[in-house]
Amino acid sequence: MKGFEFTIRFDPGADPLMDLFREYPALLLRNATCTVAGDAMWRVDRVDGPADAVSAFGDVFLNDGRCNECLDGHRCPGTREYQVLDRGPTARTVYTYHTEIDRCRSVAPIVTERIDDGVVFASERTGGAYRWRVLSPAAISLDGVFGRLESALGDGLALDVDRIGGADLWQATAGPAFPQ
């Protein structure tokens, strides 16, 4: 098993969704689950923050005309379907189904393309940072993964590799997806 963590940093103006996290520093989006199979991705995310921030988040995130995962300017051809599972003034839980993810230059399909089945993801967005933790059943070199991620980054995005190690990295940082 191999665990690794990395952060994609967004310059101001590089992405409308990430700009909201800069505008509202208390806004936090956590991923509870993310699954990629073939050309589709499913995920459940929870956003927490002030009521005006969560409302603004919904206006941008739930727009099925733009991809929230693209690293290269939201040009992927896939379709996105969103369903709000839980809605409150300061929190929302959103289910996303995304087709043609294999044609999207985004983290989950790039990682699964290089590593294959059995990858587990956790992610968090706050400020100008999109942080990822990945647990892989394969003890492979990650050079190809990070090289492919870097080549997918659009203008104003940068990749920081934070940690690489065994499964103990995952255990040391794992916690409830949606803490109370």
Q: Each residue's pLDDT tens digit in the chain (180 positions)?
A: 888 999 999 999 999 999 999 999 999 999 988 888 888 899 999 999 999 999 999 999 999 888 888 888 767 788 889 999 999 999 999 999 998 877 788 888 888 888 877 888 899 999 999 999 998 887 777 888 899 999 999 999 999 999 988 877 666 555 555 555
Does some domain include residue 179? Answer: no
Q: What is the pLDDT of residue 175?
A: 56
**Sign of the alpha-carbon torsion through 11, 31, 67, 63:** negative
Contacts of residue 90, defined as CB under 8 A and 6 or more positions apart, other chains included, come to: 48, 49, 50, 51, 54
Tokens representing residue 84 in the block: 């709000």
Does some domain include residue 177? Answer: no
What's the pTM value of the predicted model, to 2 decimals? 0.90
- In the DSSP assignment, the letter for residue 5 is E
Structurally, the chain folds into a number of domains equal to 1
Does some domain include residue 178? Answer: no
Q: Which residue has the tokens 């991705």?
A: 41
Domain that holds residue 83: 2-172
Does some domain include residue 98? Answer: yes
Does some domain include residue 180? Answer: no
Q: Where are the beta strands (DSSP E) in 16-79?
A: 28-37, 40-48
Does some domain include residue 89? Answer: yes
